[in-house]
Amino acid sequence: MRVCTRSLEVWRMGVVNYLEALKLQDKLVSDRKAGKITDTLLSLQHPPTYTLGKRRTVHNLLVSELQLKSMGTERHYTQSGASLYGVKVRAGESGETGVWVGERKIGAIGFRISSGITSHGLAFNIDPDLSYFEHIVPCGSADKEVTSLNKEVDINLPTEEVIHEQLVSCFERLFGNTNVIWRENPSVYDQQN
């Protein structure tokens, strides 16, 4: 009996500008469509960034472009519209998107499908500066609060690196990857050949 292995390459990238990461993701999707690469997962963080989806709901952004710049944040438009550490999370109810802890949003998920290839985005609030969320209506839910894993638990969390590894492990199990290859800080520009 032949055993099929499904590879996953995980790139630990640290903090990456949103547009650079998006360009890289588009390049990787193109390479995946062409069969040049295996499944690839980017593990990274962005500097403070506000994104607006396909519906361009700019009314959910409560500050001007000038105020965004003075705060050191960026705004970008996008094309995408279980239990963790003892925190009971749930999917959004009717009209809600994302991942929730009670009435508080802890994460957002976006995806796009093109020519049978999916590209996903996952924002999971481990321990961000939650004050940035005071300047937006998160996903159009004005009466909802944003939270973080650190705020929801009564324990000291492991390092972000450990949490990222645990998220990758969950991804690996869910998608049936049996051969995981880790790359540390691969250069975005190395992939442009």
Question: How far is residue 95 from each of residues 55, 91, 98, 140, 141, measured CA to CA in Å?
Answer: 14, 11, 10, 9, 9
- pLDDT tens by residue, 23-51: 898 899 899 999 999 888 888 888 887 77
Q: For residues 132-144, give the mean pLDDT.
A: 78
pLDDT of residue 82 exceeding 50: no
Provide the mean pLDDT of the chain: 79
Biggest alpha carbon distance in the chain?
63
Read off the pTM. Answer: 0.73
Q: List 146's β-bridge partners, or say none.
A: 105
Give residue 79's pLDDT band: very low, low, confident or very high (50, 70, 90).
low
Q: For residues 61-67, give the mean pLDDT.
A: 80
Q: Measured in whole angstroms, how far is the alpha carbon of residue 26 from the centre of its chain?
A: 15
Three-state SS for the chain is: CCCCCCEEEEEEEEECCHHHHHHHHHHHHHHHHCCCCCEEEEEEECCCEEEECCCCCHHHECCCHHHHHHHCCEEEECCCCCEECCEECEECCCCCCCEEECCEEEEEEEEEEECCEEEEEEEECCCCCHHHHHHECHHHCCCCEECCHHHHCCCCCCCHHHHHHHHHHHHHHHHCCCEEEEEECCCHHHHHC
Three-state SS for 131-143 is: HHHHHECHHHCCC
- pLDDT tens by residue, 91-130: 777 767 778 888 888 888 777 788 888 777 778 888 889 9
Looking at residue 189, its pLDDT comes to 42
Which residue's structure tokens are 């547009």? 19
Residue type at position 190: D
Residue 95, token pair as written in the block: 């009209």
- Of 57-71, 98-112, 171-185, the one with minimum mean pLDDT is 57-71
- Residue among 152, 192, 187 nearest 44 (CA): 187
DSSP strand pairing (145-146 vs 104-114): parallel
Domains of the chain, CATH where assigned? 7-192 (3.30.930.10)
The full length of the chain comes to 193
Give residue 3's pLDDT band: very low, low, confident or very high (50, 70, 90).
low
pLDDT of residue 193 exceeding 50: no
Give the catalytic positions in this structure: 139
The answer to whether residues 81 and 119 touch, using CB atoms and an 8 Å cutoff, is: no
